[in-house]
Amino acid sequence: MSTKNQISVEITQTVIAEVTEKLQECRTLLAPFLQGLTSEEKETIFKMGDKTVATVQKVRDYTEINLLFKV
C-alpha cells in the first residue's frame, strides 16, 4: 500500500535561518548542563554493532526530517 504525498509546503530560507539561530540559542543555554565523558567512562558504556549503528542513524535522520516538516 503506497501513500501519496498530498502536502506541498515550501519553507523559506528566512524561516530555516531563524530556526537554526534558535537551535543554536538552545545549545548555548544547555551548554552549562552538559559534560563530556572520561576515557574510563567511555570504555564502560554500551557499544553498538554495525547494524545497530545504521538503524540508529536512520532513525535519527527520519526524526530530523520529521521535525523540519512539523513547523
Parts of the chain with a pLDDT under 50: none
Residue-level pLDDT at 1: 57
| DSSP helix/strand/coil, 37 | coil
Residue-level pLDDT at 17: 95
Residue-level pLDDT at 59: 92
Residue 3: φ, ψ to 5°? -110, 130
Write the DSSP symbol of residue 33. Answer: G
Residue-level pLDDT at 71: 57
| DSSP helix/strand/coil, 3 | coil
pTM metric for this prediction? 0.45
